[in-house]
Amino acid sequence: MTQTPLNSQPYDQLTASADDISDKNITDLFHRIIDSFKRAPQSENVPIDMNQQKERANLINNIEKDETGLHRTLKNRHLQMITIGGAIGTGLFISSGTALATGGPGALVLDFIIIGFMLFNVCMALGELCVVFPVSGSFIAYGSRFLDPAWGFAMGWNYALHKLIVIPLELTAAGIVINYWTTSINIGVWITIFLVFLLIINLFGVRGYGEIEFYMSIIKVIAVIGFIILGIVLVFGGGPNHQYIGGKYWIHPGPFANGFKGVCSVFVTAAFAFGGTEMVGLVAAETDNPLKTIPRATKQVFWRITIFYVVSLALIGCLVPYTSPRLLSGSSSYDASASPFVIAIEDAGFKVLPSIFNAVILCAVLSVGNSNVYGASRTLCALAENGQAPKVLAYIDRKGRPLSAVALSIIIGLLAYINCANVGTQLFQWLLALSGLSSFFTWGSICACHIMFRSAWKAQGHTLDELVFVAPLGIVGSYFGLLLNILCLIAQFYIAVSPIHGSVTARSFFEAYLAVPIVIISYIVWKIWKKTPFMRPSTIDLETGRRMLNVQQLIDEEKAERRSWPIWKKMFYECC
C-alpha cells in the first residue's frame, strides 16, 4: 500500500490541521497566563535550610527565585540605570524651583551636597547589608532584625504609605505636565491612561519594571547631561540671546534667601529629590547576581550626586534668579511651567527646546510613578511576610509578582481622581503629611541597622575579611549618616514651629511634622501589643537569608578577571 505524501493531502485537511494547531496554541497560551497568576508553589516560600545553603555556596548567585518566590531576573544593566537615573524625577526637575525661591542658589547647592554626602553613607551601608542579606524587603526587614520589630513595623509602614500616596500624586502630575501643551482634555482622561500604563508594566513583573526604568533612566540621564552642557554655554554667553551671565545672580539678588530658615527649609526638598535612591536595596532580592551588581551600583552614588545634582543645580542658580516670580507661579507644585530647567531654557530664547525638556519631565514623572508602585508593592509584601501586614499582601504568583500588593497600589492610585475636585489638593496635603519625612526615617534606620550589624558581626566572632563588600567609611560613615538624618529632622521641626512666612498654626505645624508623632505612636502601640524585644548584638540573627560564600575564592576570581581587562576598563571600574 502506497503512503500518501503530506503535500498531496487535500487543501481543506491541511487547513483544518493548521487551525487545530493554532487553536491548541492559543488555548495553551491562555492556560499558561491563567496559571501564572496562581500562588507560587509552597516549596518556593520556605527558607532554604542553612546546611543546603553551605552545600550550594558555589551556585548561590545562579538561584533564579528568592526564598519568598520573587524572581531574580534583574540584570546588571537594569540595576546600573535604576541606580543612576532612578532618583532623577520631579524633585530635581520641578520641586527644585520652589526650593530655589525659598532658600536661594547657595542653600540649594549646600543642602543637596549635605544630603548627598549623607546618602552616600546610607547607600554604602545598604550595599554592604544587601550583599550579605539580599532578602525580600531589604531595609524593611533589616529594621526588624537589627533594631526592634516594633521599629521595623513603624518605619516600614511609614515608607509604604509614602510610596502609596505618591502614586496618585505622580499620576496627577503627569496630567498637569501635559497641560503645558494643551488644556482642552480633562486631566481625568490622562490619569486613566497613565494608571492603565502603570498596571500593564507591573503585570510584566520585575522584568517589566526593570526594562521601563532602564530606558527612562537613559532619557533622563541624557537630558541632564545635555542641560549641563547647554547651561555652561548659556552662562558664558552662548545661546540665541548671546548674553554673558556668569555668576551675577549669585551676587544679586544673592546666594541665600530667608537666611538660616531658608537653608533649613530646603532639606526636605533635597530629601524628596533624592528619594528612591534606596530602591537599590529593594531590588536586591530580585537581582540575578547581587554579589557583583549591588557594589557596582552603590559606588556610582558619589558621581551621580556630584554631576547630576550639584553641577546642574549650580548652573540653575546662575541662570534663574531666586526672585523670579515664575518659580512660584505654577498652578501646582508639579506644574512644569514652574520648573527652573524649563524657565532657564525659555529665558535663553529657545522655542522648541522647552517642549522637548517638558517631554523629559513627563517621562520622569511616569518613571517615579512606576518606581513607587514597585516600591510600595515590595514593601507591603515584605511587611506581610514579617507578620506586620495582612497575610493576603504576601501573595506571590508563579511569575514572582506580589499580586495583592500591586493591586492595592493601583487601587490607591485611583485617589488621583480626587484631584479633579477642589477639595483634592487639601486632602492630599494631609495624606502627604502622614509620611512627609519618610526618607529621613528610612535613611537613618539603614545607618542604624548597619551599626548594629557590625556590632553583631564582631560580637559573634566574625571579621571584616568575611565580607565581600565593605562600606568605604565603615561604621563611622553610618554614624555620620545617622547624625545628619537626626539634624535634618530637627531642622524641619524648627521650620514647623517657626515658618518662613506668617506665624505658626496647628494646621501648618502638623502638615510639616505629622509624620513624626505617627511613627512614634505606631512604634509604641506595636511595641506594647507584640511585646517586641530590643535587639542585642549577641542575639541578632546573622544566619537567615545570609549568602554563604567562599569570600577569598570570590575575591581571587574577581582579581583574576580584572587583570584581563584593558586599562580603560580598570580605570572606569575604580572610579565608577
Q: Which is more confident, 299 or 168?
A: 168
pLDDT band at 36 (very low <50, low <70, confident <90, very high): low
Residue 396 has pLDDT above 80, yes or no: yes
Res 202: pLDDT: 86
Residue 452 has pLDDT above 70, yes or no: yes
Res 334: pLDDT: 59
Q: Are 396 and 69 in contact (CB under 8 A)?
A: yes
Query: By three-state DSSP, how is residue 244 classified?
Result: strand
Q: What percent of the chain has pLDDT over 90?
A: 26
Res 512: pLDDT: 85
Residue 319 has pLDDT above 90, yes or no: yes
Instruction: Tell me the per-residue pLDDT of 175-189, one tens digit each, with 9 for 90 and over.
Output: 888 888 888 888 889
- Name which of 272-276, 341-345, 403-407 the model is least confident about: 272-276
Residue 49 has pLDDT above 50, yes or no: no
* Residue 312 covered by a domain: yes
Q: Which residue, 131, 506, 70, 149, is CA-closest to 140?
A: 149
Q: What's the total number of domains in the chain?
A: 1
Instruction: Tell me the per-residue pLDDT of 520-551, one tens digit each, with 9 for 90 and over.
Output: 999 999 999 999 988 999 989 888 877 665 55
Instruction: Tell me the per-residue pLDDT of 554-567, one tens digit each, with 9 for 90 and over.
Output: 556 666 666 666 77
Residue 56 has pLDDT above 60, yes or no: no
User: DSSP string of 294-346?
Assistant: HHHHHHTHHHHIIIIIIIHHHHHHHHS-TT-GGGG-SSSTT-GGG-HHHHHHH
Average pLDDT of span 352-375: 88
In this structure, the number of other CB atoms found within 10 A of the CB of residue 541 comes to 12
* Residue 33 covered by a domain: no
pLDDT band at 276 (very low <50, low <70, confident <90, very high): confident
* Residue 389 covered by a domain: yes
Which residues 6+ apart lie within 8 Å of 411 measured at CB? none
Res 487: pLDDT: 93
* Residue 267 covered by a domain: yes
451-456 LR contacts (CB < 8 Å, sep 24+): 451/475, 451/478, 451/479, 451/482, 452/146, 452/147, 452/535, 452/537, 452/540, 453/128, 453/129, 453/132, 453/142, 453/146, 453/540, 454/478, 455/537, 456/146, 456/537, 456/538, 456/540, 456/542
Instruction: Tell me the per-residue pLDDT of 63-86, one tens digit each, with 9 for 90 and over.
Output: 345 555 555 556 667 676 766 666
pLDDT band at 443 (very low <50, low <70, confident <90, very high): very high
Res 71: pLDDT: 56
Res 192: pLDDT: 93
Q: Which residue, 111, 103, 94, is CA-closest to 327?
A: 94
Domain coverage including residue 95: 60-575
Cα(301)–Cα(295) distance, rounded to whole angstroms?
11
Average pLDDT of span 14-39: 59
Residue 38 has pLDDT above 70, yes or no: no
Structure pTM? 0.84
pLDDT band at 23 (very low <50, low <70, confident <90, very high): low
* Residue 442 covered by a domain: yes
Between the CA of residue 430 and those of 96, 165, 433, 507, what are the distances in Å?
Answer: 22, 10, 5, 9
- Most confident range, picked from 60-64, 91-95, 279-283: 91-95
Residue 44 has pLDDT above 50, yes or no: no
Res 1: pLDDT: 47
* Residue 9 covered by a domain: no
pLDDT band at 493 (very low <50, low <70, confident <90, very high): very high
Cα(386)–Cα(144) distance, rounded to whole angstroms?
9
List the CATH number of the domain containing 449. 1.20.1740.10
* Residue 14 covered by a domain: no
* Residue 526 covered by a domain: yes
